[in-house]
Amino acid sequence: MKDKKLSLKETLNNAFYALKLGIGFSKKLFFNIIFVAVLGYFQWVFFSSVFMKRIVGSLDRGDSYKSILLYIGICGLIIGLMNLYQHFFENVTMPVEHARLYGKLYHMLFDKARNVELSCYENADFYNKYTMAMDGADEKISDVMRRFWGIIFGTIATGFVFWLMFSIDRLAVIFIVSPLLGNFLFGSIKNKFEYKRYKEQVAGNKVMNYVSRAMYLPDYAKEMRLFHVYNILKRQYSDATDRNVEAASKYAFPNAFVNFWKITFTFSVIFEGVLFYAIYRNLVSKSITLADLTIMTSMMVSMTWILIGLFDDIVNFMKDGVFINNLRGFLEYEEKIPEDYDGLMPGEFESLEFDNVSFSYTDEKTIKDLSFTLKKGEIAALVGHNGAGKTTIIKLLLRLYDPDEGRILLNGKDIKEYNLHAYRDLFATTFQDFAVMGMSVRDNVLMGRHYENEDRIVESALKKAGVYERIEKLEGKTASTMTREFDEKGVVLSGGESQKLAVSRTFAKPAEVKIFDEPSSALDPIAEYDLFKNIAKEGSDHTLLFISHRLSSVRHCDRVFMLEKGMIIEEGSHEELMAMNGKYAKMYRRQANNYLAIEDEEGSAG
């Protein structure tokens, strides 16, 4: 993903967008940030000019010790109250309101992530922007508010101090050029060098982060102990480190050279220059008082730090603009298949028809001019080698994607006309690439849905999937937490047991059409046989569509669709396809030896 250089207008638009979000999430945080910025710059300007001028003037005039002490006390009390407020904001208000902002912002991001179509997660550019939008979004919103008001009040403070210095000595303002050169010229060059170094280290950092994850994630632990892959990872890490060291060395001297001049112009020139100039005016030309000399020096110090803060705010504000641009782009993205899409409410399932449907993930078509019909009460199967397009058909059927060409019709109407949630509620599905959630067994089965007699539904679904006995042996039974993501006592099931748990979701949902996508890929033949017996029973009062890699499981289907390269090449019942003696029959016979044990068991059972 290429970096996008934002214009000043775009950066400001993004800033106002972030400010709008900030004030919407927490008005208290928004206005407190403004107030703290005002107080911070007020103290800088007040102490360097008004306060110092009053104290030095009082000393020159010979004012009483009591009056000077009273003035210092009053100012100290006021400044103390300001500091007390600032500390209260930083340590009490800020954490509380930041947590509130965090919660509201991430609810918005999660809602958006839930609403965008599935293809967005498979688009590398979109997914990168999504991850960047999610990464520290709350901190960036807060930082934009701080930087924005820092720039506003920093500019005002700079102008005010400049005016005060100008009123004391017009020539003295020339020294302000020094920190401007230090911060804005040499500071900008330094940032460019650092950014170039960062870009050249990105590739190495990715490798190093990958190796770091591999070293502590359990998914890689077995491979590193059984094979010699550790040596490869170690070499990759070393190579990446060497590349990063080379990039750091490349910019080390230029960066140090520029930084030297940045510090020289930001601090040395203005401090020593103003001091020599003021001393000359006071001692040699006798054209400036000691009080003005003190005030001028004090204001120069304040001006320097104000300019440093202002420059830092500007640089980080511009950086945040790129991040906010990603956040804004993600939140304002217009979904092609929005999850909240409203439309007609579907009636009972009667038929589903693919009418000359074509679809592609990339330039090459995955589904090509596909036409078939699934009728109520039918038991149908999609079979074929890996990559034939079977799972893609299910994703199109569920409207996780829309066809590039053709239509999908439910009861004679295009599925795009239906309310999306109501349409999907007609189907219960378990994909082969399922996920076991870090929640209870019960929640993993019901998946957020609520019914009457939920305990009975969960028990029945687990029994049909063949995993009930395993769950009953757990200490917490269906209340047991799955995975150890949040609970060190969490349950980690085997691959086959996890698949059975996922399949139970389809049994639990009271949908008219049940879809099983490779529901037995991790099961042994006996467990698969038992599972398909229960799936077949489900077909007595449901429409069934399933994908199976073992053709013995589809022999009792009403219709079998043999797929190859996204097209149906054969269609019919098992007997009809075997009689054709085509690719289905050839594939079945090739697998026959693997089915002998199951066929014998099925024959004895019959």
Residue 508 pLDDT class (50, 70, 90 cuts):
very high
> Exposed, middle or buried: residue 492 (CB in 10 Å: 0-12, 13-18, 19+)?
exposed
> Which tokens is 190 given?
């330094």
SS3 for 425-459 is: CCEEEECCCCCCCCCEHHHHHHCCCCCCCHHHHHH
Residue 406 pLDDT class (50, 70, 90 cuts):
very high
33 touches 141 (CB < 8 A): no
Q: Which amino acid is at 26?
A: S
Residue 96 pLDDT class (50, 70, 90 cuts):
very high
Query: Which ranges constitute the DSSP H helices of 466-582?
Result: 468-472, 495-508, 525-538, 574-580
Question: In this model, does residue 336 exceed pLDDT 60?
Answer: yes
Domain boundaries along the sequence of the chain: 8-331, 342-426+511-606, 434-510
191-205, 268-282, 323-337, 353-367: which is most confident: 353-367
- CA dist., res. 465 & res. 553, Å (int): 15
451 touches 510 (CB < 8 A): yes
Query: Which distant-in-sequence residues (6+ apart) come within 8 Å of 580 by Cβ?
Result: 570, 572
Q: What is the pLDDT of residue 596?
A: 52
The domain 342-426+511-606 is placed in CATH, from the list 3.40.50.620, 3.40.50.300, 3.30.450.40, 3.10.150.10, at 3.40.50.300
Fold of the 8-331 domain: ABC transporter transmembrane region fold (1.20.1560)
Q: Tokens 């998914």 — which residue?
A: 219
Q: Helix (H, G, I), strand (E, B), or coil: what is residue 74?
A: helix
Q: What average pLDDT does range 62-83 have in this prediction?
A: 90
Quick one: which of 591, 552, 582, 544 has its CA closest to 564? 582
Query: Which ranges constitute the DSSP H helices of 137-217?
Result: 137-168, 177-180, 187-216
CATH-assigned architecture of domain 434-510: 3-Layer(aba) Sandwich (3.40)
- CA dist., res. 229 & res. 71, Å (int): 73
Query: Residue 365 — φ and ψ, nearest 5°?
Result: -70, 130
Angle, to 10 degrees, between the axis of helix 94-115 and the axis of helix 137-168?
130
- CA dist., res. 217 & res. 72, Å (int): 61
- CA dist., res. 384 & res. 569, Å (int): 10
- CA dist., res. 20 & res. 31, Å (int): 12
**Inter-CA distances, 288 with 57, 273, 280, 296, Å:** 13, 16, 9, 10
Q: Helix (H, G, I), strand (E, B), or coil: what is residue 564?
A: strand
Counting residues of the chain whose pLDDT is more than 90, the rounded percentage is: 35
When comparing pLDDT for 100 and 179, which is higher? 100
Query: Which ranges constitute the DSSP H helices of 371-439?
Result: 390-397, 420-424
Q: Dump pLDDT digits (tens) for 299-312.
A: 777 877 888 888 88
590 touches 412 (CB < 8 A): no
- CA dist., res. 311 & res. 75, Å (int): 29
Residue 1 pLDDT class (50, 70, 90 cuts):
very low
- CA dist., res. 568 & res. 368, Å (int): 9
Q: What is the pLDDT of residue 80?
A: 92
Domains 8-331 and 434-510 alike in fold: no
For the whole model, what pTM was predicted? Answer: 0.71
Question: In this model, does residue 97 exceed pLDDT 50?
Answer: yes
> Which tokens is 262 given?
């940045």
Residue 597 pLDDT class (50, 70, 90 cuts):
very low
Kindly state the DSSP code that residue 398 receives in the 8-state scheme.
T
Q: What average pLDDT does range 175-192 have in this prediction?
A: 80
566 touches 390 (CB < 8 A): no
